[in-house]
Amino acid sequence: MTPKNIAVAGATGAVGAEFVSVLEKRNFPVKNIKFLASARSVGKKITFKGEEFAVEEMTKDSFKGMDVALFSAGGSQSKIYAQSCVDVGCVMVDNSSAFRMTPDVPLVIPEINPEDVKWHKGIIANPNCSTIIMLMAVYPIYQLSKVKRVIVSTYQAASGAGAKAMKELEDQARDFLDGKPVKKEVLPYQIAFNLFSHNTKIGDDGYNEEEVKMIKETNKILHDENIKVTPTCVRVPVLRAHSESIVVETEQKLSLDAVRSAIAKFPGCQLVDDREKNYFPMPLEVSGEYDCKVGRIRYDYTFDNGIALFVCGDQLLKGAALNAVQIAELL
Ligand code: A2P
């Protein structure tokens, strides 16, 4: 691959920091790199491959001469700057939900639908973190037999709400243990020693926005309008990795051995399924890891062809920065 000019938009955020580390660790061929954030961050420094870079304020001119912009500055910023990227031929790989359901924007998990990057028109969307982590566990099964439905409950880390929410969890835990009043500034309810329904708006049908994303994005990524998904998304007091309890109904009856072997072989997945030791995937053990871990594989008793499983994946990596850098690698 010829070295590319890369812009990291939202470089001071939780995902932004992971963009930097993933580009470094994967030895992405970088010619020039710039780090963009709001005016508040001008003057901050970011170290990349041993060299210090000053954070620049993101403006509409920031993308001239850039080949790829990795965006994680929130959906409103993605909407403001998308045209500026497209106009100068800089491909926007966008981590926000701004363009995920736009018909001419591919929504890509490189292990699942890499061919979709080919039809991009300047913007490629990174799916929602919960969708990515769910499909990393479901797709190996889908390859054995079409999946008719997915029932999923998420246990989502604070990182999904950004660096400030991670700090809020730490601060609340400290204050709670010190007997001090707990402050709530980012998340709507106390997250330390608690959990609550995902902090996105609830629609008329009772599903919140995160749940709707999981439903619609699954159809788009798999190019399968028939697969039905019922999610329940919950925020839990974990710092940075999401977990999901999943039941799938397949068209054909599958053996558990076939499912285990498909998951173990699938790139980006590790099988962690030790019934004897009661040892299964845990969010702490995937934090900082590229692979998702999948286990608790067993038959579901409520469907004829039902399989239950549990997956953990690092929300900031496979759920965000790693997936986006993998998309840039495909480009
Ligand atoms: P800043 O640190 O200057 O506010 P997180 O998701 O962890 O909250 O991070 C959000 C990222 O998006 C940060 O890097 C933040 O920069 C950046 N960001 C937020 N608002 C803007 C904006 N108006 N222009 C550019 N970057 C922004």
* Interval 134-159: pLDDT, tens: 999 999 999 999 999 999 999 999 99
Q: What is the pLDDT of residues 261-315, one digit of tens each?
A: 999 999 999 999 999 999 999 999 999 999 999 999 999 999 999 999 999 999 9
Rounded distance, CA 163 to CA 171, Å? 12
Q: What is the pLDDT of residues 316-329, one digit of tens each?
A: 999 999 999 999 99
Q: Please check whether residue 73 is in contact with residue 13, taking contact to mean a CB–CB distance below 8 angstroms.
A: yes
Which residue, 59, 20, 19, 53, is CA-closest to 39?
59
User: Is 198 tagged catalytic?
Assistant: no
Mutate to test the pocket of ligand 1, among 12, 59, 129, 167 (most ligand atoms within 8 A of CB): 12
Rounded distance, CA 180 to CA 113, Å? 49
Tokens of 60: 């509409």
pLDDT band, very low/low/confident/very high, at 104 (cuts 50, 70, 90): very high
* pTM > 0.95: yes
User: Is 129 tagged catalytic?
Assistant: yes
Q: Please check whether residue 154 is in contact with residue 130, taking contact to mean a CB–CB distance below 8 angstroms.
A: yes
pLDDT band, very low/low/confident/very high, at 228 (cuts 50, 70, 90): very high
DSSP letter, residue 321: I
pLDDT band, very low/low/confident/very high, at 206 (cuts 50, 70, 90): very high
Which residue, 66, 329, 70, 101, is CA-closest to 220?
101
Rounded distance, CA 157 to CA 57, Å? 29
| Consecutive H or E run containing 246 | strand 241-250
CB 95 near ligand 1, within 6 Å: no
What is the CA(96)–ligand 1 centre distance, in A?
12
In the predicted model, is pLDDT for residue 204 greater than 80?
A: yes
pLDDT at 253: 97
Reduce the DSSP state of residue 213 to 3 states and report it. Answer: helix
Tokens of 331: 């480009």
CB 275 near ligand 1, within 6 Å: no
- For 312, phi then psi, to 5°, come to -125, 140
CB 13 near ligand 1, within 6 Å: yes
Rounded distance, CA 242 to CA 136, Å? 13
pLDDT at 264: 98
pLDDT at 1: 77
